[in-house]
Amino acid sequence: MTTQLSVAVVGAGYWGPNLARNFSASRDWRLAAICDLDGAKAAALAEKVGHVDVHTDLAELLERDDIDAVAVATPARTHHAVVLAALRAGKHVVVEKPLADSRERALEMVAEAEERGLTLMADHTYCYTPAVLKIRELIAEGALGELLFIDSVRINLGLVQPDVDVFWDLAPHDLSIIDFILPNGLRPAEVSAQGADPLGAGRSCIGYLTVPLENGAIAHVHVNWLSPTKIRSMVIGGTKRTLVWDDLNPQQRISVYDRGVDLDQQSVDGVNRTAAAISYRLGDTWSPALPEHEALGAMAAEFATSIREGRAARTDGLAGLRVLSVLEAASRSLGRAGRMEPVEAAEPILTAVAS
Ligand SMILES: NC(=O)c1ccc[n+]([C@@H]2O[C@H](COP(=O)([O-])OP(=O)(O)OC[C@H]3O[C@@H](n4cnc5c(N)ncnc54)[C@H](O)[C@@H]3O)[C@@H](O)[C@H]2O)c1
């Protein structure tokens, strides 16, 4: 049996308890402490997960030699300071989405982890759900063929956030999933965003994001706080099959349609393209069986494995950075009436920072 790693959860608000519960239940981890500026919240959570230590001072927590890693569930604007402090104290870090509140800060965090040889992982929780793991597997094995489009919808009556618009609140989920399932990750050259604020809330409450992908494919993300109906769906069209993920249908979350459109290549002669015949294939629909497990449990296991094997986590800091790069370009596009805006690449800049 491998020795357990020890972890402290920083932030005992809404999301921290979910992390604490999963680390505490994990065979890979020993949950050693809870830290929150609010001592009462930290103490209540510490008691609930088995009387672990309580800290209200992050610096004091980070001085402890018996803690290998921290899991950060504080508000996004604090991620940069908390994560840098933890990395500088030699701790591996998993941090809640979004990785930081700006791409520049995220870049600094990723560079710091790389320089110190520590794991920096983003908790892109959805990526560890059985449905998304299966989608990634099906795409990787070529079951859908070449990807043509991704259409993601995440709408319901949501809380209008005081500090971020609907893109920054909801689209990190869609973007991190798209980054995870695309074999080469999400590296668009440009994006366009259109938003609406019909109630005068002061920020976009409805958002449409268009992301051109490789080889002429395209992704579209619709996020919305004002929809009375809740929809969480993603349609992924490929040359061989089309996959529909309906996250609100536990009986059949994923359906794979063996149907599609074929372009008769022989008639595409470059001279008379309009004569190209389109034919429709109508085949079966099937629904893969999905294992039952909690996403955060799988996330905690991946965090431990990435540390033990000294390899990048599946949703590493760079994945978080790619999501932020798209969000920042989307914000620029919003300010320019939906014009396509270039997306800054994560990796080349990181190499420049390191050299
Ligand atoms: N993965 C998901 O699906 C998911 C879901 C919800 C929230 N989140 C993320 O989790 C994070 C926390 O969100 P929340 O809704 O739990 O926030 P919250 O406001 O409910 O809780 C944050 C807690 O952090 C504490 N805190 C703030 N600064 C601190 C510091 N420097 N040191 C120690 N404690 C500090 C606060 O006292 C508070 O108790 C955010 O990044 C959010 O985006 C992720």
14 Cα–ligand 1 center, Å: 7
Positions in the chain whose pLDDT score sits under 70:
1, 264-276, 347-355
| Ligand 1 contact via 74 beta carbon (within 6 Å) | yes
| Ligand 1 contact via 152 beta carbon (within 6 Å) | no
Q: What tokens does 342 get?
A: 């270039």
| Ligand 1 contact via 127 beta carbon (within 6 Å) | no
| Ligand 1 contact via 37 beta carbon (within 6 Å) | yes
Cβ atoms of residues 85 and 62 within 8 Å: yes
| Ligand 1 contact via 315 beta carbon (within 6 Å) | no
Q: What tokens does 224 get?
A: 């919305």
Q: Which of 9, 34, 35, 36 to mutate to test the pocket of ligand 1 (most atoms within 8 A of CB)?
A: 36
* pTM recorded for the entire structure: 0.93
The CA distance from 22 to 128, in Å, is: 13
The CA distance from 68 to 209, in Å, is: 39
| Ligand 1 contact via 59 beta carbon (within 6 Å) | no
Give the closest residue (by CA) to ligand 1 atom 21: 13
Determine the atom of ligand 1 nearest the C-alpha atom of 38. Answer: 37
Cβ atoms of residues 70 and 42 within 8 Å: no
101 Cα–ligand 1 center, Å: 13
The CA distance from 344 to 5, in Å, is: 36
pLDDT score recorded for residue 1: 55
| Ligand 1 contact via 9 beta carbon (within 6 Å) | no
Distances 331 to 8, 159, 171, 338, 350 between C-alpha atoms, Å: 34, 20, 12, 9, 22
The CA distance from 184 to 178, in Å, is: 10
The CA distance from 271 to 70, in Å, is: 62
pLDDT score recorded for residue 269: 54
Integer Rg of the chain from CA: 22
- If one counts every other C-beta atom within 10 angstroms of the C-beta of residue 151, the result is 15
pLDDT score recorded for residue 224: 98
- Return all residues near 87 (Cβ < 8 A) that are at least 6 apart: 93, 109, 112, 113, 116, 118, 120
The CA distance from 97 to 324, in Å, is: 10
